[in-house]
Amino acid sequence: MRGSSMTDIGEFNEKLVLQTIRSSPDGIGQSDVVRRSYLSRQAVSLITRRLVADGLIEQAGRRISGPGKPHTLLRVVPDARLAIGVHLDPAHITVVVCDLAARPVAMVSLDPPTTDPQADIVRIAAAIASLNRSLGAMHMDADDEVIPIRRRLLGIGIAAPASLDATEGILRNPPWMPGWRDVPVVDALGAATGLPAILDKDTNAALTGEIWSRHLGSAQTILYVYVGHGLGSAVSANGQVHRGGSTQAGEIGHLPIGRTSEPCVCGRRGCLCLYTDASVLVDQARASGISMPDGDGMTAAIDALSAEAESGSEAAHEIIDGHGRALGEALRILAAVHDPQRIIIGGPTWPALRTVASAPIRAALGEWLSGPGTVLESSHLGDDVGAIGAASLFLEQELAPGTGASAAP
Ligand SMILES: [Zn+2]
Protein backbone atom coordinates (compact mmCIF):
# COMPACT_ATOMS: atom_id res chain seq x y z
CA MET A 1 0.00 0.00 0.00
CA ARG A 2 2.98 2.30 -0.20
CA GLY A 3 2.24 5.18 -2.51
CA SER A 4 4.65 6.60 -5.02
CA SER A 5 3.98 10.04 -3.62
CA MET A 6 7.20 10.55 -1.72
CA THR A 7 9.71 9.28 -4.25
CA ASP A 8 10.81 12.88 -4.75
CA ILE A 9 12.27 12.92 -1.26
CA GLY A 10 12.65 9.19 -0.92
CA GLU A 11 16.41 9.21 -0.73
CA PHE A 12 17.82 8.31 2.65
CA ASN A 13 20.07 11.36 2.74
CA GLU A 14 17.15 13.64 2.04
CA LYS A 15 15.22 12.10 4.89
CA LEU A 16 18.24 12.48 7.13
CA VAL A 17 18.60 16.17 6.27
CA LEU A 18 14.87 16.70 6.70
CA GLN A 19 14.95 15.03 10.11
CA THR A 20 17.92 17.12 11.19
CA ILE A 21 16.11 20.33 10.23
CA ARG A 22 12.82 19.09 11.70
CA SER A 23 14.51 18.49 15.06
CA SER A 24 15.21 22.23 15.32
CA PRO A 25 11.77 23.84 15.04
CA ASP A 26 13.24 27.33 15.57
CA GLY A 27 15.60 26.91 12.64
CA ILE A 28 19.08 25.53 12.06
CA GLY A 29 22.04 26.79 10.05
CA GLN A 30 23.27 24.78 7.10
CA SER A 31 26.68 24.24 8.70
CA ASP A 32 24.97 22.68 11.72
CA VAL A 33 23.03 20.38 9.38
CA VAL A 34 26.36 19.32 7.85
CA ARG A 35 27.85 18.67 11.28
CA ARG A 36 24.89 16.71 12.66
CA SER A 37 24.11 14.67 9.54
CA TYR A 38 27.76 13.75 8.76
CA LEU A 39 27.01 14.50 5.11
CA SER A 40 29.23 16.63 2.89
CA ARG A 41 28.61 20.34 2.57
CA GLN A 42 27.91 19.85 -1.15
CA ALA A 43 25.35 17.10 -0.48
CA VAL A 44 23.55 19.15 2.18
CA SER A 45 23.51 22.20 -0.06
CA LEU A 46 22.02 20.21 -2.95
CA ILE A 47 19.43 18.51 -0.73
CA THR A 48 18.30 21.67 1.02
CA ARG A 49 17.76 23.35 -2.35
CA ARG A 50 15.56 20.43 -3.40
CA LEU A 51 13.64 20.49 -0.10
CA VAL A 52 13.04 24.23 -0.49
CA ALA A 53 11.80 23.65 -4.06
CA ASP A 54 9.53 20.91 -2.74
CA GLY A 55 8.08 23.32 -0.19
CA LEU A 56 9.14 21.10 2.73
CA ILE A 57 11.57 23.62 4.23
CA GLU A 58 12.01 27.39 4.09
CA GLN A 59 14.49 30.03 5.13
CA ALA A 60 13.74 31.31 8.61
CA GLY A 61 15.76 34.47 8.91
CA ARG A 62 19.39 34.86 9.87
CA ARG A 63 21.36 34.27 13.02
CA ILE A 64 24.54 36.09 13.94
CA SER A 65 26.93 33.83 15.79
CA GLY A 66 30.34 35.32 16.48
CA PRO A 67 32.42 37.09 13.86
CA GLY A 68 31.83 36.55 10.17
CA LYS A 69 28.70 36.95 8.18
CA PRO A 70 25.32 35.85 9.60
CA HIS A 71 24.12 32.49 8.34
CA THR A 72 20.68 31.65 7.03
CA LEU A 73 18.48 29.44 9.16
CA LEU A 74 16.41 26.63 7.70
CA ARG A 75 13.22 25.22 9.14
CA VAL A 76 10.48 22.81 8.16
CA VAL A 77 7.21 24.18 6.78
CA PRO A 78 4.84 22.31 9.12
CA ASP A 79 1.81 22.20 6.83
CA ALA A 80 3.75 21.26 3.69
CA ARG A 81 2.52 17.71 4.16
CA LEU A 82 -0.38 16.29 6.13
CA ALA A 83 -1.09 12.79 7.44
CA ILE A 84 -4.34 11.29 8.66
CA GLY A 85 -4.58 9.34 11.89
CA VAL A 86 -7.42 6.93 12.63
CA HIS A 87 -7.71 5.58 16.14
CA LEU A 88 -9.99 2.56 16.43
CA ASP A 89 -10.80 2.21 20.10
CA PRO A 90 -13.59 0.26 21.78
CA ALA A 91 -14.86 3.56 23.24
CA HIS A 92 -14.61 5.76 20.13
CA ILE A 93 -13.23 6.25 16.66
CA THR A 94 -11.12 9.39 16.28
CA VAL A 95 -10.00 10.76 12.92
CA VAL A 96 -7.37 13.49 12.91
CA VAL A 97 -5.38 15.34 10.26
CA CYS A 98 -1.89 16.27 11.50
CA ASP A 99 0.83 18.47 10.07
CA LEU A 100 4.52 17.55 9.88
CA ALA A 101 4.97 18.44 13.55
CA ALA A 102 2.18 15.95 14.42
CA ARG A 103 -0.03 18.85 15.45
CA PRO A 104 -3.74 18.25 14.80
CA VAL A 105 -5.12 20.67 12.21
CA ALA A 106 -8.56 19.03 12.12
CA MET A 107 -10.21 16.31 14.15
CA VAL A 108 -13.52 14.52 14.48
CA SER A 109 -14.73 11.95 17.00
CA LEU A 110 -17.10 9.27 15.70
CA ASP A 111 -19.33 6.77 17.46
CA PRO A 112 -17.56 3.63 18.72
CA PRO A 113 -16.97 0.64 16.43
CA THR A 114 -20.08 -1.45 15.82
CA THR A 115 -20.37 -5.14 14.98
CA ASP A 116 -20.40 -4.17 11.28
CA PRO A 117 -16.80 -3.30 10.29
CA GLN A 118 -17.75 -2.60 6.64
CA ALA A 119 -20.24 0.06 7.70
CA ASP A 120 -17.71 1.49 10.16
CA ILE A 121 -15.08 1.79 7.42
CA VAL A 122 -17.58 3.65 5.23
CA ARG A 123 -18.19 6.05 8.15
CA ILE A 124 -14.45 6.59 8.64
CA ALA A 125 -13.86 7.17 4.91
CA ALA A 126 -16.68 9.72 4.86
CA ALA A 127 -15.16 11.54 7.84
CA ILE A 128 -11.75 11.61 6.13
CA ALA A 129 -13.27 12.98 2.92
CA SER A 130 -15.10 15.66 4.88
CA LEU A 131 -12.00 16.74 6.82
CA ASN A 132 -9.93 16.84 3.64
CA ARG A 133 -12.51 18.98 1.87
CA SER A 134 -12.61 21.40 4.78
CA LEU A 135 -8.82 21.75 4.64
CA GLY A 136 -8.48 21.88 0.87
CA ALA A 137 -6.10 18.94 1.23
CA MET A 138 -5.37 16.59 -1.62
CA HIS A 139 -3.50 13.38 -2.15
CA MET A 140 -0.36 14.08 -4.11
CA ASP A 141 -0.21 12.08 -7.30
CA ALA A 142 3.23 11.52 -8.77
CA ASP A 143 2.27 12.79 -12.22
CA ASP A 144 -0.30 15.38 -11.26
CA GLU A 145 1.22 18.83 -11.65
CA VAL A 146 -1.73 20.98 -10.63
CA ILE A 147 -1.81 20.15 -6.91
CA PRO A 148 -0.53 23.04 -4.81
CA ILE A 149 2.67 22.53 -2.85
CA ARG A 150 1.05 22.95 0.54
CA ARG A 151 -1.62 20.72 2.06
CA ARG A 152 -0.47 17.56 0.34
CA LEU A 153 -1.79 14.42 1.99
CA LEU A 154 0.64 11.57 2.53
CA GLY A 155 -1.69 8.84 3.72
CA ILE A 156 -3.40 7.21 6.69
CA GLY A 157 -2.01 5.67 9.85
CA ILE A 158 -4.41 3.38 11.70
CA ALA A 159 -3.97 2.56 15.40
CA ALA A 160 -5.95 -0.25 17.02
CA PRO A 161 -5.75 -2.56 20.01
CA ALA A 162 -3.95 -5.87 19.58
CA SER A 163 -4.15 -8.48 18.28
CA LEU A 164 -3.34 -7.44 14.76
CA ASP A 165 -1.05 -8.22 11.86
CA ALA A 166 0.76 -4.99 10.98
CA THR A 167 2.49 -6.48 7.93
CA GLU A 168 -0.74 -7.71 6.35
CA GLY A 169 -2.78 -4.78 7.65
CA ILE A 170 -5.33 -7.03 9.30
CA LEU A 171 -7.09 -6.59 12.64
CA ARG A 172 -7.11 -10.12 14.05
CA ASN A 173 -8.98 -10.20 17.31
CA PRO A 174 -9.09 -6.86 19.13
CA PRO A 175 -10.66 -7.10 22.58
CA TRP A 176 -13.92 -5.29 23.32
CA MET A 177 -14.62 -4.94 19.56
CA PRO A 178 -16.95 -7.84 18.72
CA GLY A 179 -17.41 -8.24 14.98
CA TRP A 180 -13.91 -7.00 14.17
CA ARG A 181 -12.36 -10.38 13.50
CA ASP A 182 -9.76 -10.74 10.72
CA VAL A 183 -10.74 -7.41 9.16
CA PRO A 184 -8.32 -6.26 6.37
CA VAL A 185 -8.64 -2.69 7.56
CA VAL A 186 -5.65 -1.32 5.60
CA ASP A 187 -6.93 -2.58 2.23
CA ALA A 188 -10.53 -1.65 3.03
CA LEU A 189 -9.81 1.91 4.16
CA GLY A 190 -7.23 2.33 1.38
CA ALA A 191 -9.82 1.30 -1.21
CA ALA A 192 -12.48 3.54 0.34
CA THR A 193 -10.27 6.63 0.37
CA GLY A 194 -7.72 6.10 -2.41
CA LEU A 195 -4.95 6.78 0.09
CA PRO A 196 -2.11 4.52 1.21
CA ALA A 197 -2.58 3.24 4.77
CA ILE A 198 -0.62 1.43 7.45
CA LEU A 199 -1.67 -0.28 10.69
CA ASP A 200 -0.03 -0.61 14.10
CA LYS A 201 -0.94 -1.15 17.73
CA ASP A 202 -2.29 1.83 19.64
CA THR A 203 0.58 1.53 22.12
CA ASN A 204 3.21 1.71 19.37
CA ALA A 205 1.35 4.59 17.75
CA ALA A 206 1.21 6.52 21.02
CA LEU A 207 4.94 6.14 21.60
CA THR A 208 5.68 7.08 17.97
CA GLY A 209 3.58 10.21 18.46
CA GLU A 210 5.59 11.24 21.53
CA ILE A 211 8.90 10.63 19.75
CA TRP A 212 7.88 12.36 16.53
CA SER A 213 6.20 15.42 18.03
CA ARG A 214 8.87 16.07 20.66
CA HIS A 215 11.98 14.90 18.76
CA LEU A 216 12.70 12.40 21.53
CA GLY A 217 14.68 9.31 21.13
CA SER A 218 18.22 9.90 20.08
CA ALA A 219 20.26 7.67 22.39
CA GLN A 220 17.32 7.21 24.73
CA THR A 221 15.36 4.14 25.80
CA ILE A 222 11.73 5.07 26.40
CA LEU A 223 9.05 2.94 28.06
CA TYR A 224 5.48 3.95 27.27
CA VAL A 225 2.45 2.60 29.12
CA TYR A 226 -0.90 3.07 27.48
CA VAL A 227 -3.92 3.23 29.80
CA GLY A 228 -7.26 2.60 28.13
CA HIS A 229 -9.77 -0.22 28.35
CA GLY A 230 -6.75 -2.34 29.24
CA LEU A 231 -3.05 -1.68 29.64
CA GLY A 232 -0.36 -2.03 27.01
CA SER A 233 3.28 -1.02 26.84
CA ALA A 234 5.74 -0.04 24.15
CA VAL A 235 9.50 0.42 24.21
CA SER A 236 11.76 2.40 21.91
CA ALA A 237 15.52 2.73 21.64
CA ASN A 238 17.23 5.39 19.52
CA GLY A 239 13.87 6.54 18.22
CA GLN A 240 12.83 3.09 16.95
CA VAL A 241 9.82 1.35 18.51
CA HIS A 242 10.45 -2.32 19.27
CA ARG A 243 7.52 -4.25 17.82
CA GLY A 244 8.61 -7.83 18.32
CA GLY A 245 8.35 -10.64 15.81
CA SER A 246 4.59 -10.43 15.34
CA THR A 247 3.73 -6.93 16.57
CA GLN A 248 2.77 -8.40 19.94
CA ALA A 249 5.52 -6.84 22.08
CA GLY A 250 4.24 -5.05 25.15
CA GLU A 251 1.14 -7.11 25.89
CA ILE A 252 1.43 -6.76 29.66
CA GLY A 253 -2.16 -7.46 30.75
CA HIS A 254 -1.28 -10.88 32.12
CA LEU A 255 1.94 -9.85 33.79
CA PRO A 256 1.95 -11.39 37.28
CA ILE A 257 2.45 -8.60 39.81
CA GLY A 258 2.87 -10.66 42.96
CA ARG A 259 -0.73 -10.84 44.07
CA THR A 260 -2.48 -14.19 44.20
CA SER A 261 -5.99 -13.40 45.32
CA GLU A 262 -7.86 -13.37 42.03
CA PRO A 263 -8.11 -16.06 39.34
CA CYS A 264 -7.76 -14.73 35.78
CA VAL A 265 -9.46 -15.93 32.60
CA CYS A 266 -6.01 -16.95 31.40
CA GLY A 267 -5.90 -19.65 34.10
CA ARG A 268 -3.33 -18.01 36.34
CA ARG A 269 -3.70 -15.76 39.33
CA GLY A 270 -2.92 -12.17 40.12
CA CYS A 271 -2.55 -10.85 36.56
CA LEU A 272 -2.14 -7.08 36.14
CA CYS A 273 -5.39 -6.74 34.18
CA LEU A 274 -7.40 -7.95 37.18
CA TYR A 275 -6.53 -4.68 38.93
CA THR A 276 -6.22 -2.22 36.06
CA ASP A 277 -8.81 -2.95 33.33
CA ALA A 278 -11.24 -0.05 33.10
CA SER A 279 -14.17 -2.50 33.41
CA VAL A 280 -12.74 -3.72 36.73
CA LEU A 281 -12.65 -0.17 38.11
CA VAL A 282 -16.23 0.40 37.00
CA ASP A 283 -17.37 -2.86 38.63
CA GLN A 284 -15.57 -1.92 41.84
CA ALA A 285 -17.22 1.49 41.78
CA ARG A 286 -20.70 0.00 41.33
CA ALA A 287 -20.01 -2.51 44.13
CA SER A 288 -19.06 0.41 46.40
CA GLY A 289 -22.34 2.15 45.64
CA ILE A 290 -20.77 4.86 43.49
CA SER A 291 -23.18 6.04 40.80
CA MET A 292 -21.83 5.22 37.34
CA PRO A 293 -23.32 6.57 34.09
CA ASP A 294 -25.53 4.11 32.19
CA GLY A 295 -24.44 2.52 28.96
CA ASP A 296 -21.05 1.20 28.02
CA GLY A 297 -19.14 4.44 27.61
CA MET A 298 -15.98 3.45 29.45
CA THR A 299 -14.26 6.83 29.22
CA ALA A 300 -17.34 8.56 30.65
CA ALA A 301 -17.49 6.01 33.49
CA ILE A 302 -13.82 6.58 34.42
CA ASP A 303 -14.39 10.34 34.23
CA ALA A 304 -17.31 9.93 36.67
CA LEU A 305 -15.19 7.84 39.03
CA SER A 306 -12.45 10.48 38.93
CA ALA A 307 -14.97 13.24 39.65
CA GLU A 308 -16.21 11.28 42.68
CA ALA A 309 -12.66 10.96 44.00
CA GLU A 310 -12.04 14.68 43.50
CA SER A 311 -15.21 15.57 45.38
CA GLY A 312 -14.04 13.59 48.38
CA SER A 313 -15.32 10.03 47.95
CA GLU A 314 -12.89 7.81 49.83
CA ALA A 315 -14.16 4.72 48.02
CA ALA A 316 -13.50 6.27 44.61
CA HIS A 317 -10.07 7.44 45.75
CA GLU A 318 -9.24 3.94 47.01
CA ILE A 319 -10.27 2.32 43.69
CA ILE A 320 -8.07 4.62 41.61
CA ASP A 321 -5.26 4.31 44.14
CA GLY A 322 -5.47 0.53 43.73
CA HIS A 323 -5.12 0.95 39.98
CA GLY A 324 -2.03 3.09 40.57
CA ARG A 325 -0.48 0.57 42.98
CA ALA A 326 -0.94 -2.29 40.50
CA LEU A 327 0.35 -0.21 37.58
CA GLY A 328 3.25 1.00 39.72
CA GLU A 329 4.26 -2.57 40.51
CA ALA A 330 4.11 -3.47 36.81
CA LEU A 331 6.19 -0.39 35.94
CA ARG A 332 8.76 -1.32 38.59
CA ILE A 333 9.18 -4.71 36.91
CA LEU A 334 9.23 -3.26 33.38
CA ALA A 335 11.76 -0.59 34.37
CA ALA A 336 14.05 -3.34 35.65
CA VAL A 337 13.60 -5.31 32.41
CA HIS A 338 14.03 -2.45 29.94
CA ASP A 339 16.26 0.00 31.84
CA PRO A 340 14.60 3.09 30.32
CA GLN A 341 15.70 6.68 30.90
CA ARG A 342 12.17 7.92 30.37
CA ILE A 343 8.77 6.48 31.28
CA ILE A 344 5.70 8.06 29.69
CA ILE A 345 2.16 7.20 30.82
CA GLY A 346 -0.72 8.10 28.52
CA GLY A 347 -3.85 6.79 26.86
CA PRO A 348 -7.53 7.71 26.80
CA THR A 349 -8.36 7.09 30.48
CA TRP A 350 -5.06 8.27 31.99
CA PRO A 351 -5.99 12.01 32.18
CA ALA A 352 -8.86 11.07 34.51
CA LEU A 353 -6.79 8.70 36.66
CA ARG A 354 -3.47 10.53 36.94
CA THR A 355 -4.32 12.89 39.81
CA VAL A 356 -4.81 10.02 42.25
CA ALA A 357 -2.79 7.24 40.58
CA SER A 358 0.45 9.18 40.19
CA ALA A 359 1.43 9.02 43.89
CA PRO A 360 1.41 5.21 44.26
CA ILE A 361 3.20 4.91 40.89
CA ARG A 362 5.97 7.29 42.01
CA ALA A 363 6.23 5.34 45.27
CA ALA A 364 6.63 2.03 43.43
CA LEU A 365 9.23 3.52 41.09
CA GLY A 366 11.23 5.13 43.90
CA GLU A 367 14.46 3.28 43.19
CA TRP A 368 14.27 3.88 39.45
CA LEU A 369 13.40 7.55 39.98
CA SER A 370 16.54 7.99 42.12
CA GLY A 371 18.68 6.91 39.16
CA PRO A 372 20.61 9.45 37.09
CA GLY A 373 18.55 11.43 34.59
CA THR A 374 15.37 9.36 34.80
CA VAL A 375 12.12 11.07 33.81
CA LEU A 376 8.59 9.93 34.68
CA GLU A 377 5.92 11.97 32.91
CA SER A 378 2.41 11.95 31.53
CA SER A 379 1.85 12.01 27.78
CA HIS A 380 2.01 15.49 26.28
CA LEU A 381 -0.60 14.49 23.71
CA GLY A 382 -3.57 14.05 26.04
CA ASP A 383 -6.38 11.60 25.40
CA ASP A 384 -6.08 11.97 21.61
CA VAL A 385 -2.66 10.32 21.67
CA GLY A 386 -3.97 7.28 19.78
CA ALA A 387 -5.10 9.31 16.77
CA ILE A 388 -2.13 11.70 16.76
CA GLY A 389 0.15 8.70 17.17
CA ALA A 390 -1.54 6.99 14.23
CA ALA A 391 -0.81 10.00 12.01
CA SER A 392 2.76 10.01 13.32
CA LEU A 393 3.15 6.40 12.19
CA PHE A 394 2.63 7.50 8.62
CA LEU A 395 4.83 10.58 8.94
CA GLU A 396 7.58 8.39 10.33
CA GLN A 397 7.26 5.78 7.61
CA GLU A 398 7.35 8.35 4.82
CA LEU A 399 9.77 10.92 6.14
CA ALA A 400 12.11 9.42 8.74
CA PRO A 401 15.41 7.86 7.70
CA GLY A 402 16.14 4.28 8.63
CA THR A 403 12.75 2.93 9.56
CA GLY A 404 13.37 -0.70 8.74
CA ALA A 405 11.79 -2.20 5.63
CA SER A 406 10.29 1.05 4.45
CA ALA A 407 13.58 2.92 4.52
CA ALA A 408 15.28 3.86 1.31
CA PRO A 409 18.22 1.63 0.31
ZN1 LIG B 1 -4.23 -13.53 33.20
How close is the Cα of 255 to the center of ligand 1, in Å?
7
Q: What is the DSSP letter of 217?
A: -
Q: pTM of the full predicted structure?
A: 0.89
204 and 270, same domain (yes or no)? no
The secondary element (H helix, E strand) that includes residue 302 is: helix 298-310
CA proximity to 166, closest of 405, 409, 4: 405
3-state SS record for 236-281: EECCEEECCCCCCCCCCCCCECCCCCCECCCCCECECHHHHCHHHH
How close is the Cα of 384 to the center of ligand 1, in Å?
28
76, 94, 116 — which closes off a domain? 76
Looking at the predicted structure, is the pLDDT value of residue 31 above 80? yes
In the prediction, which pLDDT does 10 show? 45
Is residue 1 in a domain? no
How close is the Cα of 235 to the center of ligand 1, in Å?
22
pLDDT in tens, 285-314: 999 999 988 776 788 899 999 999 999 999
Burial class (CB in 10 A: 0-12, 13-18, 19+), 359: middle
In the prediction, which pLDDT does 407 show? 30
Looking at the predicted structure, is the pLDDT value of residue 405 above 50? no
- If one counts the domains in the chain, the total is 3
190 and 230, same domain (yes or no)? no
- Name the pLDDT band for 400 (thresholds 50, 70, 90): confident
Is residue 186 in a domain? yes
Domain ranges, residue 71: 7-76
**Residues sharing a CB contact under 8 Å with residue 331, sequence separation 6 or more, in sequence order:** 223, 225, 343, 361, 364, 365
- Name the pLDDT band for 133 (thresholds 50, 70, 90): confident
In the prediction, which pLDDT does 141 show? 57
In the prediction, which pLDDT does 217 show? 72
In the prediction, which pLDDT does 406 show? 36
221 and 332, same domain (yes or no)? yes
227 and 166, same domain (yes or no)? no
How close is the Cα of 296 to the center of ligand 1, in Å?
23
The percent of residues above 70 in pLDDT, for the chain, comes to 89
103 and 198, same domain (yes or no)? yes
In the prediction, which pLDDT does 150 show? 55
Is residue 328 in a domain? yes
258 and 368, same domain (yes or no)? yes
How close is the Cα of 341 to the center of ligand 1, in Å?
28
* Long-range pairs, 241-244, Cβ under 8 A, ≥24: 241/204, 241/207, 241/208, 241/211, 243/166, 243/200, 243/201, 243/204
362 and 222, same domain (yes or no)? yes
Mean pLDDT, to the nearest integer, of 349-361?
A: 96
In the prediction, which pLDDT does 1 show? 39
CA distance 174 to 160: 8
Looking at the predicted structure, is the pLDDT value of residue 393 above 60? yes
234 and 124, same domain (yes or no)? no
368 and 221, same domain (yes or no)? yes
246 and 335, same domain (yes or no)? yes
Q: What is the CATH number of the domain that holds 61?
A: 1.10.10.10
72 and 15, same domain (yes or no)? yes
Lowest mean pLDDT, pick from 149-158, 237-246, 387-396: 149-158
165 and 98, same domain (yes or no)? yes
